[in-house]
Homo-oligomer: A and B are copies of this chain.
């Protein structure tokens, strides 16, 4: 499983709508509306970098209201939970 953390800046009044569209995308496991400099944080858990590439280009970018994204690849996950099992894909 490959995990990506994506930081979003969103047109103010579309934050809710965009969050709901994001979480419907296969591969996006959680979306949070957050305080601070960013508006949304999404966690994508996919099988490969390619799968994320398609997810980003085909499904994520066309969503209306996204003004800026910063995608971070998780090199390594540290957790007391068995994340692979919990988010089995």
User: Which residues of chain B are within 8 angstroms of A13 by Cβ–Cβ distance?
Assistant: 61-62
A 25-79 contacts with B by CB, 8 A: 29-38, 41, 49-50, 52-53, 56-57, 61-62, 66, 69-79
Once bound together, how far apart are the Cα atoms of A3 and B5, in whole Å?
Answer: 15
Kindly identify which residue among B30, B62, B66, B77 contacts A81, using a CB–CB cutoff of 8 Å: B30
Quote the shortest CB–CB distance from A89 to chain B (angstroms).
11
Copies of this chain assembled into the complex: 10
Encoded as 1 (CB less than 8 Å from any B CB) or 0, chain A from 1 to 29 comes to 01111000000110110011011000001
Once bound together, how far apart are the Cα atoms of A30 and B30, in whole Å?
Answer: 13
Once bound together, how far apart are the Cα atoms of A72 and B87, in whole Å?
Answer: 23
